[in-house]
Structure 1
Amino acid sequence: MLHGRRAGRPLRKDQRARMARDLPALAVDLGTLADPAALFAPGIAGLRLEVGFGGGEHLAYEAGRFPELGFIGCEPFLNGVAKLVERVEALELDNVRLHAGDAGELLDALPAACLAGADVFYPDPWPKRRQRKRRFLSDANLGRLARALKPGAPLRFATDIDDYAGWVLARVLRSADFAWDAREAGDWRAPWDGWPSTRYEAKAIREGRPPAYLTFRRR
């Protein structure tokens, strides 16, 4: 589950118009996901998921790099959805679909072993102890992701919060479904090949919060 506000500042008039015009064609119908590849044009070579895509910078970038793949993005924050809808139009991407709601319900609707990869980048760390049950990569959601991922598929996680990185690692390492193959610090301190840094990440680095880039693999 992704907790948080559904909307922040009001959408601009042009954003509202674009959402009304374009979002229905991009939206995922959870009732018709027996074959999620059917959401895309024939010939899609695989499916990837990004949970909590924010403004959609990374998802749109990856969709442009890999036009042979279908990308499903999940984000409950409507301002972020509006930004990605705008990027999809500007970049003429036809391999992106969106779920503007809870990630758990999307994962539950997907068939088993349908995803070639999943990304969770800079989710809300919910830093207070009483809030930690809201963190996305919980034991329960790792189980949901494991069901939807193909054997060998990567689950990538990035955060600039040390406590969150350790919290997630503890849950992955006790999971029978995922392996962490890192052998040295460079395996989690360096971003992935082709990684497009964002303004948020640049700010975190300036403020002395170096990110951790963790890759887990479905057993």
Structure 2
Amino acid sequence: MQGLGVELGEVFTENLYNKRGNRENSRIVNLNDAVLNTNKSAWNRPVVVSKWTPEQAHERDSIIQELQGRIAAHWGFKDTRVLFTLPFWLEAIESPLFIGTFRHPHRVALSLRNRDQSPPEDGWELWRIYNERLLELVEQYGIALTDFDQPDELYLSDVLDKLIALGLDPALAARGGEFFDPDLRNQASSSVDGVSLPADVLSVYDELLNHHARS
């Protein structure tokens, strides 16, 4: 998104698991964590939030004002927690535009295991919780989806086409594509053949694939 002119603020440009960073804004991540905590939840046991403190609302408004004050024509952010904190953000943002991404449940579970040694079964269940919520929002807002497990060229083309469809500058497409590095796709080479997923997890994954095929 940055390559296509979207202002993300101060983001992580490098970390242990991604040499180019996850491009998440630490103020937004920390605020989403705080709002989840106010709702007696957390990133690994999330609920859709229904309350927040005046201080959290003030920090949100400050972040929005700071991003809007930069010279870019568009601003935005990336954080999976927003699937559950979206009501909090919608209180202050009118007519937002969305793009969503998903990948195979087992590859997500493997990434989580690398970070915190959690068993695959826990990763599958957390994946299901997040992606069931994603499907709810896809239905509600008509969110375009990208499949992170597509072959490299197809994935890049899919992402750029859908970002341009949201109104980003097509003249910057080449610049946007420069950020993508196939070698940094964690677990991309991990085989999912023979992985037996729970029926409810597989059902959500199949529905995501169907939505992507139609978008």
TM-score (norm 1): 0.31
From the two aligned structures, give the one with the greater helix fraction.
2
From the two aligned structures, give the one with the greater strand fraction.
1
Q: Which has the higher contact order (CA 8 A, sep 6+)?
A: 2
TM-score (norm 2): 0.31
